[in-house]
Chains A and B, each alone.
Chain A
Amino acid sequence: MITPLYLIFYFFSALAVFSGVMVIASGSAMRSVLFLVLTFFSMSALWLLLNAEFLALILVLVYVGAVMTLFLFVLMMLRTSAMRWREGLARYLPWIGLLVLMLIGVLAMILTKEPVSLIMFRVLPVAADYNNLADLGSVLYTSYVYPFELAAVILLMAMVAAIALTRTPAAFSKTQNPHQQMAVKVRDRLKLIKDGDTQ
């Protein structure tokens, strides 16, 4: 049976596919980034349909709220219109085609285990007081605690490495110290001299 749930599901699926295509098809980098934001949004809506509210919100918070903001930040400082976009498309097309075919093959192998139909999408029935958050937390900190901690340490290492790689040597640094600036007194900046003493 087609319920409103299906309408929502197909709406956001179509939106995800459309915006995903537009990411690579749109002319300017700025538009691509904004379409990527739209893709994340529609994916997050799909996850919400699956009762995964925590993951859906985190997807938007981390990818749209932080990562894509940084993308935009960088893009806004570039002269993107001067970039040549479709250069070398013909050269890479066969390889792209091969990759896409492989991906479709893998998906088809998994998905066709049961008969395919338009109303295959379904949500597992859950109790009214089901707490996705508590469930996720208890799994993450018991069964998967070591992989979880390991991922955290790897991320921390990447962060420290990124800072270490981009650090300017102290000699070239133009850092200002606000405390020093605030503590400045008149006599540090201004010297009163009697008229005629200048020579």
Chain B
Amino acid sequence: MESLLLVAGILLKIIGIVLVLLGAVAYLVLLERKVIGFMQSRVGPNRVGPFGLFQPIADIIKLLTKEVIIPSASNRYLFLVAPIISLGTSLAAWAVIPFDQAVVLANINAGVLFVLTLSSLSVYGVLIAGWASNSTYALLGSLRAAAQSISYEIAMGFALIGVMMAAGSLNFQTIVMAQSGGVWHWYWLPLFPLFIVFWIAGVAETNRAPFDVVEGESEIVAGFHVEYSGSAFALFFLAEYANMILISTLITLLFLGGWLSPFQGIPYLDAFFQHVPGFIWLLMKLSFFLFCYLWFRATFPRYRYDQIMYLGWKVLLPITIAWIVVLALAIQCHVAPWFIG
């Protein structure tokens, strides 16, 4: 009976996280269309409901009621499994993400590793989709996706190693608590190069502009999901936006002190903002990175494929490796911001 209650409790938590996440995704899509609209001197969607606020609901109804077309020469089973893998991996990573002090579904020791593992698995959805579609554009898209995700995962992993070394742990709770003490104690400053590398690699991992050669509308139509329609396409769509929110949350947790208040240690302000709950800070910080995703898409031109490889292997990777050596020396010599005594 007790274990049954435990399972029921965990299931309820999972449903809660997923529902909130899907709601966030729906409105992130609306926000994207609005923000990019304003940046290009347009209004964006404004017909459904006040200010177009019900647009996501209309979109969902449209996508779910459309027919799922399965190409006759495709690998039927894998074709349908691919979007499920895509969404599954991007949702599963949320199991270890803390939303506040001790507010987390599973507080495991290897939390960072778990997230890195799942993000490396998300490429399977794209790869299998591209192959199973039996279409040249889709195949080209998924080949690009494979190469890109392997390249940027390495830079991302190295940036994570820097954070692990500074915090001395792979546990998200410990990493965030190691950053306590105000804005200048958060890792974005002591680990500045790694912060920038992780951010760039994060954008590349989600296949968003300016690294969206996987879709590349102007070159390969829509890349890996060109043959998908209706709810199968909706799953890819959901996965992409859920991944954006995940990466934004990860940057916040690893480099911007997660749920910690930015006024810690400042005499008057600290007391004034004491009653603001942690997840509000977390939400505000991750919203900034989400906005940057949209901003990038509205302003940056797409990278050429070989430039993406150049940036990943010859710029980002050497920076991270050099900084890890510097970091190791600093920790060995007990230099203050990097070494916690």
Contacts and interface: CB of A to CB of B under 8 A. Distances in A.
B131 A72 contact: yes
A22 to B, nearest CB: 13
A96 interface: no
B131 A30 contact: yes
A73 B306 CA distance: 17
Contact of B147 (A57, A73, A176): A73
Given A53-B110, A57-B113, A76-B131, A65 B143 contact: no
Contacts of A70: 146, 150
Interface residues of B, number: 29
B116 A61 contact: yes
Interface string A53-86: 1100110110011100110110011000000000
A132 B171 CA distance: 12
Contacts of A73: 127, 143, 146-147
Contacts of B130: 76
Looking at chain A's contact residues, the main secondary structure is helix
A61 B128 CA distance: 18
B153 interface: yes
Interface string B68-100: 000000000010000000000000000000000
Contact of A133 (B3, B110, B124): B110
Contacts of B109: 53, 131-133
A77 B143 contact: yes
Given A76-B127, A131-B109, A69 B146 contact: yes
Interface in B131-149: 131, 139, 142-143, 146-147, 149
Contacts of A88: none
A133 B310 contact: no
B299 interface: no
B170 interface: yes
Contact of B139 (A37, A61, A69, A76): A76
B120 interface: yes
A66 B130 CA distance: 18
Interface residues of A, number: 24
A57 B114 contact: yes
Contact of B123 (A30, A61, A69, A178): A69
A30 B120 CA distance: 19
B143 A61 contact: no
Interface in A1-59: 4, 30, 34, 37, 53-54, 57-58
A61 B113 CA distance: 8
Contacts of B108: 53
B255 to A, nearest CB: 21
A50 B78 CA distance: 32
Nearest to A75: B131
B150 A54 contact: no
B121 interface: yes
A33 to B, nearest CB: 10
B241 to A, nearest CB: 22
A51 B108 CA distance: 12
B120 A54 contact: no
Contacts of A54: 110, 113
A178 B310 contact: yes
A188 to B, nearest CB: 19
Contacts of A57: 110, 113-114, 117
Nearest to A70: B150
B218 interface: no
Contacts of B124: 37, 64, 69
Contacts of A53: 108-110
A54 to B, nearest CB: 6
Interface string B303-323: 000110010000000000000
B146 A72 contact: yes
A72 B139 CA distance: 12
B80 to A, nearest CB: 14
Given A76-B139, A178-B310, A61 B117 contact: yes
Interface in A165-182: 176, 178
B143 A76 contact: yes
Contacts of A37: 124
Contacts of B113: 54, 57-58, 61
Interface in B157-189: 170
A176 B143 contact: no
Q: Give the 6 A-B CB pairs with smallest separation, nearest first.
A: A65-B120, A61-B117, A73-B146, A57-B113, A60-B117, A57-B117
Interface of B: 3, 78, 108-110, 113-114, 116-117, 120-121, 123-124, 127-128, 130-131, 139, 142-143, 146-147, 149-150, 153, 170, 306-307, 310
27 contacts: A4-B3, A34-B128, A37-B124, A57-B110, A57-B113, A58-B113, A60-B121, A61-B116, A61-B120, A64-B121, A65-B117, A65-B120, A65-B121, A65-B123, A65-B153, A66-B120, A66-B150, A69-B123, A69-B146, A73-B147, A76-B131, A76-B139, A131-B109, A132-B109, A133-B110, A176-B306, A178-B307
